């Protein structure tokens, strides 16, 4: 039986794109820093992970254009554009030329677009889906590109990059980009105003910088994502949504095992809501992957029923393959061992095709 399934997947992967199902909606979920060991640790504490519901699984190589070990900027650029770039660069190739990305392609097709993160919305991963700058630290410049991008939905943290210094922000140019966004978007800055958001375009920047850790956020990632799906799904032309569990990476950099597991479980709970939506909708492709692994995490055993023995080999990133999970129309495109650029290229192809009525 297993051999039959493998042969079927190989047959489907060889079909031209036009012969396969094409989704109307695409949801790309990124666990920043989430490798196989992080998922293994989460699975040891919660055996029924939502990730176990995916019928198609693969592995992803993550090297950047200039290093075997990538950073988030180069990795997210590969996922967003299908092209390699150097570490630290956002949305440009190694020569500095802008790379068209999934959000731009989706908007050109008339699809609604959205980004949901637990970091600043100007951080490396979300930035790569909208901005084109030489260095990820140029976050005030990224904020301006976000404000001018026309993206219909932006949920996360990072108000400081949109506000001038006189108003507690980081901008030296004196611009108040939130005022500019208020002319085109419904704005929220706390849980109460977020709950009132009921139509697009919508921006919810729920903290001056990054959002707090899982379990302490004014609006949980699962709730932000559910609201995003609800609003974006009203667009008859479909939508593209990127969701990032940003802080798995931060916990890995600190070698904080408990935080790593907490953030990974938080992302899995969010994935459960995305899968529930996709199953009801029937025309949504869901991908879950990582930009890279962080910490060189090793799961060594169980200290108690609720505590694991976890060790780390580094405070940085590693070059380990990361997992890829796929569900819905087009999922078979993402089986096997892929490069991160394959994901971006295949998603761009899917967006370029018309979905089934």
CA-to-CA dists, residue 254 to 69, 179, 225, angstroms = 18, 36, 26
User: Among the options 44, 47, 72, 355, which is catalytic?
Assistant: 72
Residue 263 in contact with residue 213, Cβ under 8 Å? yes
Q: Which residues of 290-329 are buried (b: 16+ CB within 10 A; e: fewer)?
A: bbbbbbbbebeeeeeeeebebebeeeebbebbbbbbbbbb
Residue 56 sits at φ, ψ, to 5 deg, of -120, 130
Active site (annotated) includes residue 320: no
Collapsed DSSP state (helix, strand, coil) of residue 203: strand
Separation of alpha carbons 235 and 343, rounded Å: 24
CA distances from 196 to 45, 189, 192, 202 (A): 35, 11, 7, 11
What would you report as the CA-atom Rg of the chain, rounded to the nearest whole angstrom? Answer: 19
Report the catalytic residues: 72
């Amino acid at each position: 039986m297993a051999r039959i399934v493998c042969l079927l997947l190989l047959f489907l992967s060889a079909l031209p794109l036009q012969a396969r199902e094409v989704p109307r909606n695409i949801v790309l979920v990124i666990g920043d820093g989430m490798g196989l060991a992080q998922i293994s640790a989460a699975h040891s504490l919660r055996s029924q992970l939502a990730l176990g519901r995916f019928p198609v699984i693969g592995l992803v190589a993550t090297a950047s254009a200039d290093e075997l070990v990538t950073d988030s900027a180069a990795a997210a650029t590969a996922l967003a554009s299908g092209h390699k770039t150097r570490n630290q660069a956002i949305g440009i190739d190694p020569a500095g030329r802008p790379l068209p990305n999934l959000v731009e392609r989706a908007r050109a097709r008339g699809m609604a677009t959205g980004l949901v993160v637990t970091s600043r919305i100007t951080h490396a991963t979300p930035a790569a889906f909208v901005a084109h700058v030489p260095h990820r630290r140029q976050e005030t410049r990224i904020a301006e590109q976000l404000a001018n991008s026309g993206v219909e939905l932006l949920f996360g943290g990072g108000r400081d990059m949109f506000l001038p210094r006189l108003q507690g922000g980081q901008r030296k140019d004196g611009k108040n980009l939130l005022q500019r966004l208020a002319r085109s978007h419904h704005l929220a800055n706390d849980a109460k105003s977020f709950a009132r958001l009921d139509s697009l375009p919508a921006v919810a920047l729920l903290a001056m910088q990054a959002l707090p850790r899982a379990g302490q956020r004014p609006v949980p990632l699962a709730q932000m994502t559910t609201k995003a799906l609800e609003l974006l799904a009203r667009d008859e032309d479909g939508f593209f949504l990127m969701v990032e569990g940003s802080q798995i990476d931060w916990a890995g950099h600190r070698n904080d095992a408990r935080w790593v597991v907490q953030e990974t479980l938080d992302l899995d709970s969010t994935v459960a809501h995305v899968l529930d939506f996709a199953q009801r909708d029937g025309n949504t492709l869901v991908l879950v992957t990582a930009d890279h692994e962080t910490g060189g995490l090793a799961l060594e055993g169980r200290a108690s029923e609720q505590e694991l023995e976890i060790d780390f080999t580094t405070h940085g990133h590693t070059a380990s393959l990361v997992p890829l999970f796929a569900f819905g129309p087009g999922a078979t495109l993402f089986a096997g061992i892929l490069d991160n650029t394959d994901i971006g290229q295949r998603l761009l192809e899917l967006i370029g095709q018309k979905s089934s009525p």
